[in-house]
Amino acid sequence: MSVSVRPTRRRATINRAQGVTGTLLVLPFLVVFVALFVVPIVYSAYLSLFTDQLVGGETFSGLANYVRALTDAHFWAGFGRVVLFLVIQVPIMLIVALFFALAIDSGRLRGSRAVRLIVFLPYAIPGIVASLMWGYLYGPNFGLFSQITQAINLGSLNLLSSGNILGAIMNIVCWEFIGYNMIILYSALRAVPAELYDAAEVDGAGQWRLAWSIKIPAIRQAILLTVIFSIIGSFQLFAEPSILSVLAPNSIGTDFSPNLYAYNVAFVNQDVSYSAAIAFVLGLIIMVISYVVQTVTNRREGE
């Protein structure tokens, strides 16, 4: 009996030591995660329950800030603008990213490594720098596009006007994130078993048929991932309109996007509590939309 007990105790000791080691290795991440993510969220939730008044100072108001956010015309104006941005920009960006991923994966694209690097390179450029660069190109007086149209006697082209600014920002975001999404889709394509391609080619399938019938269905989960990331990123639109608002103040107001509106409420209007409530309302909306997209997509795949 003692012979069987000793190995059991030894295994228990080893498992306990492994558990302690694993905990110690994970502990630094948990500390940073709690300090930089959990604590700010909890504190923001706490702030959102108060109202800063001129008379009486900061007072507990419960859900009053949330009710105010849900009836705020400025918040919903920015929200509607971002929805329009999402509906137009995200499909274009993901279709182009999928095209490049399929082209590189086909093995028939010359200089595929160089193409992959060139397409991905804009993602390595900070959003602020990209916005400044494109803002210079968009300028009606000094911008490259305006100079070209003036050179061919078509007049000055103002891509920073109120009617063009949303499309201009769409172009910047596409330029920045096509490469990022391409890498995700290309990595998923590389994980598809080569036997599927070989069998399809034996049956006479061409590259387009191969892409439509085998490759795209095989990476549906990766496509869904890019869709969800793009939805979240669209509602978090901030850097591009914030930078371009300096160049086009008449086209980009303080409520251009929900994030920009929350920023101006907090740091310009000095209403941190209401800004926190706006952020939480926006986060809840993003969660619901992402959940619906994922549920509907998975349900269709199960049918």
Percentage of the chain beyond pLDDT 70 is 92
H or E stretch including 50?
strand 50-53
Return d(Cα 161, Cα 83) in angstroms, integer: 20
* Residues 27 and 108 occupy one common structural domain: no
Tell whether 81 and 25 lie within a shared domain. Answer: no
User: Are 181 and 84 contained in the same domain?
Assistant: yes
Neighbours of 227 (CB within 10 A): 18
Query: For 259-279, b where at least 16 C-beta lie within 10 A, e where not — what string?
Result: bbbbbbbbeeeebbbbbbbbb
Cα separations in angstroms, 91 against 84, 95, 96, 181, 223? 12, 6, 9, 12, 11
CATH of the domain at 221: 1.10.3720.10
Going by pLDDT thresholds of 50, 70 and 90, the confidence category of residue 201 is: low
61 in any annotated domain:
no
Residue 194 confidence (pLDDT): 75
What pLDDT does 149 receive?
A: 87
pLDDT of res. 55: 62
State whether the Cα torsion 282-284-289-290 is positive or negative.
positive
* Residue 209, CA distances (Å) to 18, 46, 51, 203, 214 in order: 50, 55, 60, 11, 8
Mark whether 92 and 169 lie in a shared domain.
yes
Q: Is 240 exposed, middle or buried (0-12, 13-18, 19+ CB in 10 A)?
A: buried
HEC readout, 18-36: HHHHHHHHHHHHHHHHHHH
- Residue (of 303, 154, 170) closest to 237 by Cα position: 170
Q: Is the pLDDT of residue 164 over 90?
A: yes
Rounded Cα distance, 274 and 164, in Å: 31
In a domain, 54, yes or no: no
Residue 64 domain-assigned (yes or no): no
What pLDDT, on the 0 to 100 scale, is given for residue 1?
A: 45
Residue 173 lies in a domain: yes
Structure pTM? 0.85
Query: Mind listing the pLDDT tens digit for each residue in 45-83?
Result: 999 999 877 666 788 888 999 999 999 999 999 999 999
Mean pLDDT of 162-174: 95
Which one has a higher pLDDT value, 249 or 212?
249
- Is residue 256, in this structure, part of any structural domain at all? yes
Residue 285 to residue 177: CA distance in whole angstroms: 23
| Separation CA 274–CA 50 (nearest Å) | 8
Kind and range of the H or E element at 42?
Answer: helix 39-47
Shared domain check, 262 and 177:
yes
Query: By the 8 A CB rule, do 68 and 49 touch?
Result: no
Whether residues 11 and 159 fall in one domain:
no
Q: Please indicate, yes or no, if residue 250 is contained in any of the structural domains.
A: yes
Q: How many domains in the chain?
A: 2
Range of the domain at 268: 71-302
Q: Are residues 127 and 33 in the same domain?
A: no
Write out the DSSP string of 127-151: HHHHHHHHHHHH-TTT-HHHHHHHH
**What's the pLDDT score for residue 24?**
86
Instruction: Kindly report the number of other CB atoms within 10 A of residue 233's CB atom.
Output: 18
What's the maximum distance between 2 C-alpha atoms anywhere in the chain? 98
pLDDT confidence of 6, banded at 50, 70, 90?
low
